[in-house]
A and B are shown apart, each in its own frame.
Chain A
Amino acid sequence: MTDLWYLIIVDPMLNGLISLSSLLPKQVQFGLAIILLTIIVRLILLPVSIRQLKSTKAMQSLQPKMQELQRKYGKNKQKLQQETMKLYKESGVNPVGCMGPMLIQFPVWIALYQSIMRALATTPENLLDLSHRLYSWQIVSQALPLNSHFLWLDLSGTGDFFLAILVGGSMWVQQKMTTAPSVDSKQQSTAQSMQIMMPFMFGAFVLMFPSGLAIFWLISNIIGIATQYFLGGGWGYLTNPFSPRPKSKAKGS
């Protein structure tokens, strides 16, 4: 199974990444190759992303009706569940529709991550391992070894604080654009916690993982923001002044 994973997904991606590096200027080859490959992968996954976007929007549009159901059947869990499913069915919304596309992307992310880690070959063991995974293409051998420097970064190094802020910040923006504010103060508070926790967590990952991977996350976030902006109708909930306010605060005002 592991062999199949490498044969079908990781190795082609690894060799693609190195071949791409071969076509780029030596000074920025690998950093730029990561960016280009991220864009290519995101473009390939664009139909999936659009489906995810539509699914999320559809779920959000059902929020008022869901809250209505919550008010009506809040005490009867079974009835609430039945009515919620009925609502999904009538509206043609798949409740896990926004999850599926995201899950499909995971293997690609992991493969890209493994490709970056392998291509950088920071130790002699890594370089030796790389030799077993390369195709006998001239374009691949010409690019080796890859230049691990990109802008101010050592792509195999860890702990760049500025990059951590960029990744965390871009993730926060992306999440803020898509997460609808809730009228329930409890839910709103949980959503806010999530919005902060996720960027923080990825910011911490950036400090722990090679910068090459962080570049992938950053570009992936930027593409996510762009996709959301152009296909989802502007900045969404990031700047929407008419978003519903939490119930408890509304009462107090």
Chain B
Amino acid sequence: MKLKIVKIAIVMGILCFSLLSAGCTGVERNPIGFSGVECHDGILYIGSSDGRVVAVNPASRETGQEFPSSDREWSYSPSPMLPSKGFSCGSSATPVSIYGTPVAADGLICVGIYNGKVLMMSPSARDNDSAFPQLKDGEWSYPRTDDVIDPIVGMPVVDGNSVYACCSDGRVYALDRSYGDELWRSEPLDDKLWITPLIKEGTLYISTFDGHIYALSTDSGELLPWSFKAEAGFVSSPALYEDIIYVGSFDRNLYAVRMGDDAPLWKFEAGNWFWSKPLVENGVVYAGCLDNRVYAFNAVTGDKLWEFDAGDPVVSSPIVVDDLLIVASETGNIYFIDKQTGTGERIKNYEEPGNENITTTGFLVRSSLCSYQGTLYVHTQNDMLVAIDIESRRLSWKFSLVSEEDK
């Protein structure tokens, strides 16, 4: 009996150890975030992995000044860390995460954060390190109290006097742009909405995980008569060109849906999901795919113009700079692709250009890219902000967004 008890104790020990180690090594449960970079008025705004909104002045970074420099640089931590829900392999609290790229609107910065807040920030108030929110400077948070709504993953959209944000409770929230008051909230459209909404002529277009595209009135949030239902759920945020909506689905298709139609205009099946929001320019749809490729399609006919093999899944949205389509693969390679021909070149790693095994940035890239005045800005998953001169293809500077306390 004694032997048996010892055995049971050993088995219990093994079981506990196995479960804990499997949980910790197998699946990352904490949200990390992958906010892109917004360039506005010469300043870059980014959501860092530790949940801060950071304003970076490229000129100060180029000269290697200490952060934050006195020239409009700051960082702001929206709220304390959330207490951890249940078992956590890392710290005992879940940091606030930011997935959506901050949005500039009339000199203010709007951001939706994963702990369920929408913030409107004034760069000057943040630069002065004033208490948040400074109402006189147009700052607000929604909800105003310590309350939160469900996580916000997509970007808020500022249109007219309203801010629209999709939430993980499946609703769309319309907020007053000046004061952050709730104008309306829609009925739940799905279990959760992780997208950036689309607005055209007073109508919000929302794609959902259950495969619908809904049209909502921007005035009231009421559902308009037209909706579209696909065979599978939609995974990416929708993009718009004229009256056609482009969105990636879980069945590995890129759908093109003309507003008002019941059937897709065209769809294209790839080898995996079109995770990122497609980019549409001059009648061409550029879409990065998790099957390692970037595709270009005729926006109306759906004819494939070219495809480019990026070697790894493409998670971030591409950008167009003049004749170039710039794309990042998840492992951190940056490609400059000719928009017309689809031929591209990989930018070599800036520290070891001779080593083909090291990616351009040397770390994962999931956030959307940004270009401003001839420089490409990339936010990597190790919280490094990388600036690459587009013409010379060389590194201009890089800057770690990790806060001093965390270093």
Contact = CB atoms under 8 A, between A and B. Distances in A.
Interface string A56-71: 0001000100100000
Contact of B12 (A128, A180, A198, A210): A198
Q: How many residues of A sit at the interface, in one of the four size bands?
A: 35 or more
A167 B16 CA distance: 15
Nearest to B30: A123
Contacts of B250: 141-142, 144-145
Contact of B275 (A102, A117, A122, A131): A131
Interface string A176-205: 000010101001001100100010010001
A118 B12 contact: no
Interface residues of A: mostly helix, strand, loop or mixed? helix
Interface stretch (A31-39, A43-51, A106-114, A225-233): A106-114
A208 interface: yes
B181 to A, nearest CB: 29
Nearest to B22: A110
Interface in B22-58: 22-23, 26-32, 34
A138 interface: yes
A69 B23 CA distance: 44
A147 interface: yes
Contact of B153 (A98, A124, A141): A124
A98 B34 CA distance: 49
A207 interface: yes
B251 A141 contact: yes
Given A106-B14, A144-B250, A123 B209 contact: no
Nearest to A207: B86
Contact of A59 (B4, B22, B235, B366): B4
Q: Which of A10, A95, A127, A187 has the most CB of B within 10 A?
A: A127
Contact of A117 (B23, B32, B34, B235): B23
Given A159-B85, A201-B16, A117 B26 contact: yes
B253 to A, nearest CB: 9
B231 interface: yes
Given A110-B18, A141-B250, A194-B9, 16 more contacts: A66-B1, A103-B14, A114-B22, A123-B29, A127-B235, A128-B366, A129-B28, A136-B252, A141-B232, A144-B232, A144-B233, A145-B250, A148-B191, A158-B85, A187-B5, A198-B12
13 contacts: A98-B7, A109-B18, A110-B19, A114-B22, A117-B26, A125-B28, A138-B251, A147-B191, A158-B86, A187-B1, A191-B5, A194-B9, A208-B86
8 closest A-B pairs by beta carbon, nearest first, are: A158-B86, A208-B87, A141-B251, A117-B27, A123-B31, A144-B250, A114-B26, A110-B22
